[in-house]
Structure 1
Amino acid sequence: MLIRCGYDIRFETETKTAMMAMLSLHPSRHQDLRSPQRLLAEPDIPLYHFEDGFGNIATRLTVPPGGVTLSCDFIIEDNGEPDMRPGNAPQMAVEDLPDFVMPFLLASRYCETDRLMDVAWSNFGHHLSARDRVDAIVDFVHDHIEFGYHHARPDKTAWNGYQERQGVCRDFAHFAITLCRCMNIPARYCTGYLGDIGVPPVDAPMDFSAWFDVYIDGSWYTHDARHNKPRIGRVLMARGRDATDVALTTAFGQAELKRFDVYAAEVESTERA
């Protein structure tokens, strides 16, 4: 399966403004590229790419007075397989977990494990396997939160999502991640492209999507509390503890978002695309 992905994002500023962007494909998907992936800026300004502490590709730039348009367009090959489910093995004890997953058991900016510990154990403590616990958590979060773009706000945490019962995909992910961590299941936040591939199209502008991975029986497995079903065609951009680590853009000063177009759709060939 070939998927054409990209975006066209416009910021306007009155003075030059430093910015960091997390808009590049994750290195784990580079081998799947079937056309070059280049982040372009208009006007043509210097872009500096570096790898952050979570293995993501971040970009630094200085937006000139007036603003900048950031764009990208590429074709990637995907295996077309739905999200893989873990086996039903017993949950690993914390003392047996590898060191590199330990940060994904801890509270973070948007994932307050201390506030949701009682909620987690009272609802999911009776499940014995990690797979059953995560499945129950995904069902719970999916049913608990009402999705709507008008419910989005940048400071909403997992606790806020639990109380308000409204949010967007990042709020579903934060809530589910927090509940998993409360149950001693490492969970990390993911962001990327998820087009309407293999599902009925949604009559709404596309956005980047958020989902999460859980560490079960020695491997990471993808889950999606918003959609609550295995999907095909996910294209990973970045992952971290929560949305703080993978913010699409961070402006260190004034920068007003004027245009935000994102796309991801299956294509028949690179020539047709």
Structure 2
Amino acid sequence: MKIRAGYNIAFQCFQETPMNLLLSVHPSRQQHIIGEHKIRFAPDVPARDFVDMFGNICTRIVAPAGRIDISNDFLIEDSGLPDETAPGARQLPIAELPDGALIYLLGSRYCDTDKLSNLAWSLFGGITSGWERVQAIVDYTHNQIEFGYHYARNDRTAAEGHSERIGVCRDFAHLAVALCRCMNIPARYCTGYLGDIGVPIDPAPMDFSAWFEVYLDGRWYTFDARHNHPRIGRIVMARGRDAADVAISTSFGTAQLLQFEVITHEVTEQPAVEQASALSKVA
């Protein structure tokens, strides 16, 4: 299937402001892009890309004083398959984990494992390790937190999300990631596009989504504690330890958000007969 995705974002800066943006599709999905994928700026400013320590594409700019608009609109090919499941996937002993996975066992800015370790072992220590244990963590997180856009708070940690029992998709991901790490399961935070494909349309405005991945049986698998069922059409933009590593914009100075619109939906091709009929009506 083909998916249209993109965004229209605007900031107001009160002086020249350096910014770091994570608004590109992740390198692992770049080969699926159809045509052009370009971040556009108005007014036009010099931009330079680099790859960060987690393998994400970052874009550096210096925004001028005043309003700056940042946009993208592209097509990407997708398998159309839901997230892969592997109920038999096993949890590897720490000694067998690759070096690169070890960082995803540690606490981080929003995944305060030290405050959740006792809880995690009391809840999940008796559950079979591997996929079954991860799914139990996802189920628990899904039921523990009530979703609501009005519950958004940009400094809420996993432990706070657990105690407050409210949040947005990033809070679900942070809690599940932290609980997995407490159980010695490497887990990393992901952000990107997730449209309403194969599910009822959500009337709320589209936003970037957050989910997480765990390392089982020698590879990474996708889990989503907010939705808690396999979804179609995820387009990953960035991965990291938590939301602090994958902020879509980091400004080194005041940058007031003026506009935020995210686009992601399946592109359905019109049958040839319908296209011909539409053209004849225009003529």
TM-score (norm 2): 0.94
Q: Is the 8 A contact 1:89 1:129 kept in 2?
A: no
Cα offset, 1:130, TM superposition: 1.1
Letter in 2 for 1:53: M
Q: Which moved more, 1:137-146 or 1:122-131?
A: 122-131
Paired residue secondary structure (2:37): coil
Identical-pair percentage: 57
| 1:42–1:186 CA distance, 2 compared to 1 (3 A) | same
Q: Equivalent residue for 1:184?
A: 184
Cα offset, 1:184, TM superposition: 0.5
Q: Equivalent residue for 2:48?
A: 48
Cα offset, 1:89, TM superposition: 4.2
Q: Equivalent residue for 2:169?
A: 169
Letter in 1 for 2:253: G
Q: Which has the larger Rg?
A: 2
Cα offset, 1:203, TM superposition: 0.8
Answer yes or no: is 1:232 the counterpart of 2:248.
Answer: no
Q: How many Å separate the matches in 2 of 1:53 and 1:91? A: 25
Cα offset, 1:85, TM superposition: 1.2
Q: How many Å separate the matches in 1 of 2:130 and 2:243? A: 24
Letter in 2 for 1:236: V
Q: How many Å separate the matches in 1 of 2:183 and 2:190? A: 19
Q: How many Å separate the matches in 2 of 1:269 and 1:66? A: 40
Q: How many Å separate the matches in 1 of 2:111 and 2:252? A: 24
Paired residue secondary structure (1:24): coil
Cα offset, 1:68, TM superposition: 0.6
Cα offset, 1:129, TM superposition: 2.5
- 1:152-200 C-alpha deviation (Å, 9 max, x unpaired): 1111010110110000000000000000000000000000000000000
Q: Equivalent residue for 2:278?
A: none
Cα offset, 1:90, TM superposition: 3.8
- Kindly report which structure 2 residues correspond to 1:1-273, keeping only aligned pairs within 5 A, or say none: 1-269=1-269
- 1:77-115 C-alpha deviation (Å, 9 max, x unpaired): 000111111242442111111111000000000001110
Paired residue secondary structure (2:108): coil
Aligned residues: 271
Letter in 2 for 1:49: D
Cα offset, 1:60, TM superposition: 0.6
Letter in 2 for 1:64: P
TM-score (norm 1): 0.97
Q: Is the 8 A contact 2:87 2:132 kept in 1?
A: no
Q: How many Å separate the matches in 2 of 1:49 and 1:63? A: 15
State the superposition RMSD in angstroms.
1.2
Paired residue secondary structure (2:6): strand
Unmatched tracts of structure 1, length 5 or more: none
Paired residue secondary structure (1:244): helix
Paired residue secondary structure (1:179): helix
Q: How many Å separate the matches in 1 of 2:90 and 2:210? A: 27
Q: How many Å separate the matches in 2 of 1:226 and 1:146? A: 9
